[in-house]
Amino acid sequence: MNERNGHPYLMYDSIQATPELLAQCMEPAIRGRVEALAKTIRMRRIRRLVLTGCGTSLMIAQCCVHFFTAWTDLDAVAESAFELQHYPTVRLREGDAIIGFSHTGGTKAVVDFIQGCRAKGYLTAGFLEVAGSRLDAAAEISVIGGKDGATPKTRSFSTGILLGAMLALCLGDRERPEVWAALEHLPEQARWVLTRAETPMKTLAKDWLSREHFVLVGSGTNFIAAREGSLKLLEAANVPALGIQIEELAHGNELYLDESWGVLFLAPQNCK
């Protein structure tokens, strides 16, 4: 095993590389693939997008549903690839396009579902990070972002959401230059957050060393971020963690909270 210089964890390097990867997603080659997919969706007269993935990739898909709902005239749903295969609650129909998310491009449930849908004549697309992977081969159209080397996926959550937002804007019911401008500003914002957040996060972690459990709370896309954050606590720190929707917390779930819990609310400006 090679010795590491600097920070002992690869995951830390991956987090610090987030701004660079976000910037790469906005480069002409990747943006061109997103635009080509949007053009194909319109040419094929797609009326609904069925987004799928597993783990972090599923949470990316669920977040992207918010973008398609807000910015396009298309219907969009997200569901686990395993559930869609074995316990489907989404009935595929003419006019659907299936988009699979997988960081490695090798998630079996995602690849199998995309292959099956393509064989039935549905438009299929893959959002992934590894060219030549099984999902790259299975999907009719692939959009390949930057590769995340860390096992607990970190920056790929951000880049996957950005690529989904770009597709939604390309499919949008009107021009939104202010949103495009905001997306182009994301790498700079990510650098700002990483610069300012490390010290307070270290302080919070030190203060919470005595906590035995953690719950992250949010609503809308912040609920999805809360679930992803709880998953990272489980994967990276091996501590029990839960991501929950804020209204659900108030319907009985708050009863198990005591001094052994650390509670983190994800509540950016203007959220409900």
| C-alpha 208, offset from chain centre | 27
| Three-class secondary structure of residue 78 per DSSP | strand
Reported as a single tens digit per residue, the pLDDT across 99-147 is 999 998 999 999 999 999 999 999 999 999 888 999 999 999 999 986 6
pLDDT tens digits, 176-209: 999 999 999 999 999 999 999 999 999 999 999 9
Average pLDDT over residues 232-247: 91
Dist CA 40 CA 136 (whole Å): 17
pTM attached to this predicted model: 0.92
How does pLDDT run across 54-88, given as a tens digit for each residue?
999 999 999 999 999 999 999 999 999 999 999 99
Structure tokens at 71: 């910015």
